Amino acid sequence: MIATRLRQFWLLAFTMMLSFLLFFQMFERTLGKFPVRYAILLAVIAALFVALWGLLLKFQPYASQSILPCVMMLTAIGTSMIARIDAELDTDVAYRQLIWICVALVCTACLVVFMRDYRVLRRFSYVSMVIGILLLLSPMLPVIGKEIGGARIWIGFGDHTLQPGEFAKLFLAFFFAAYLFDHRDQLAVGGKKVLGIRLPRVKDLGPIIVIWVVSMGVLVIQHDLGTSLLYFAMYVSMLYVATGRKSWMAIGFVAFVVGCAVAARVFAHVGYRVTAWLHPFDTQVYNQYPGGSSQLVKGLFGIASGGIFGTGIGQGHPSITPLANSDFIYSSIGEELGLTGMMAVLVLYILIITSGFITAMKIRDGFGKLLAAGLVFTMAFQVFTVVGGITLVIPLTGLTMPYMAAGGSSLIANYLLAGLLILISNAANRPVSDTVSDTFEYEALAAIRERELKEKAAGNPGGRHAVQGATA
């Protein structure tokens, strides 16, 4: 056990060393010195990472130790690139990003300490649904709602803005996992067979139709293509995990394609993105405003100028591309770190995603399996849409790279997502005897509570004592 802990610590220490060298080289090439205020804040962040690792050892001893170093490395690459862009634009986004990292680490540490068992989330499934919907709709409020870049997905207080949709995806994931766990048997029942695929019953299509309508509503009201696709894809993926029916994936894909086709024809901002994707180098499309392809093409030229090994940290011109520190941070990395750096970033994401899927396969609890699969698929889908949009595989969606892009809302939400995956991995890796004992105790308490509620609803005040006597 001691040898394992030492290996885990040295993995964390090695990641810290690489992160420090990355910041040191970037500051030396751009500013000629290492700013003291950055050095102090980076030291605080390093201490918080070590403290979080220590809390994981104490409260989640069987948790996966591969997620935290990958998250740290991705955060370091993204923040150093933001600071490098600040040096060209004379802005101060990176320093604020480091402060948000501190907040995210504290929130994750609180999650690790106070949420000993993730299964408690199942008790608040409908509460999570209400909170998720309220967060999703909050940007539509007349006073605090803000529209930035044509999308109304922000709430603002003075000069500070927050993207509540980033937190809404977590609460909706809790609800989806609980709902599908409770109704998985009903949804798994097949109907008629068409072309060798057994389709679901018509009466079971209600939930997926509702989620599709809600996703289209987000697109119509908030003009946010990426978020609407993310919610729908998350639900369909969890539905497949819950039922094992390929027909649900087929129905989801058809609804996805139909929704995108309708959106491209009906909504101008979606049509602009499709046109920019199909004809990015057309002069008329390039100079078109709004919705031209100039940003996309500049990002592509930035990646091309980086070649295989990049121009080097601090030696490119990533600021030429608009939103280089947020939506297009992956193209900024491609310019200065080259194709090698871009592949290294994808490998880090793949390690996190693989760890999440392994956790989903190992966990014995059905709710945990659905929740882990939904959370990790959300991250995988987000990375795919960002990288695919920047490299012309698919149209741009407006999503940002988790842990790397500038923005406090996304950073905190994705750190909490990683924290939840770590909590679930602790249950998945726990010895069988402990897992069976805890699961039996939890299910027994849940059954007692459900019986109490039924007896109370039936007007039998002695139901609780009867149940306790029976269990005794």
Q: Domain spans of the chain?
A: 431-472
Mean pLDDT of all residues in 361-365: 91
Confidence band for 179, pLDDT divided at 50, 70 and 90: confident
CA distance 27 to 82: 12
pLDDT at 440 over 70: no
Give the pLDDT confidence of 238-266 residue by residue, as tens digits. 888 888 877 778 888 888 788 778 877 87
Q: Which of 33-47, 108-122, 207-221 is least confident?
A: 207-221
Q: Which of 71-75, 113-117, 226-230 is least confident?
A: 226-230
Give the pLDDT confidence of 414-429 residue by residue, as tens digits. 999 999 999 999 999 9
371 SS3 class? helix
Mean pLDDT of the chain: 85
Mean pLDDT of all residues in 210-221: 73
Mean pLDDT of all residues in 203-226: 71
pLDDT at 200 over 70: no
pLDDT at 112 over 80: yes
Give the pLDDT confidence of 141-154 residue by residue, as tens digits. 887 888 776 677 88
Identify the pLDDT of residue 443: 56
CA distance 366 to 357: 14
pLDDT at 468 over 50: no
Give the pLDDT confidence of 8-41 residue by residue, as tens digits. 889 999 999 999 999 999 999 999 999 999 999 9
Radius of gyration of the chain from its Cα atoms, rounded to whole angstroms = 24
CA distance 404 to 410: 9
pLDDT at 387 over 90: yes
pTM of the model: 0.88
Of the chain, the percentage scoring pLDDT greater than 90 comes to 51
Confidence band for 202, pLDDT divided at 50, 70 and 90: low
CA angle 102, 108, 114 (to 5 degrees): 135
Confidence band for 451, pLDDT divided at 50, 70 and 90: low
Identify the pLDDT of residue 464: 42
Contact of 191 with 201, CB cutoff 8 Å:
yes
Give the pLDDT confidence of 294-348 residue by residue, as tens digits. 999 999 999 999 999 999 998 989 999 998 999 999 999 999 999 999 999 999 9
Give the pLDDT confidence of 39-89 residue by residue, as tens digits. 999 999 999 999 999 999 999 999 998 999 999 999 999 999 999 999 999
Half-sphere exposure of 263 (CA within 13 A, CB side): 29
Confidence band for 136, pLDDT divided at 50, 70 and 90: confident
Concatenated DSSP letters for 20-71? HHHHHHHHHHHTSS--HHHHHHHHHHHHHHHHHHHHHHHH-TTS-SSHHHHH
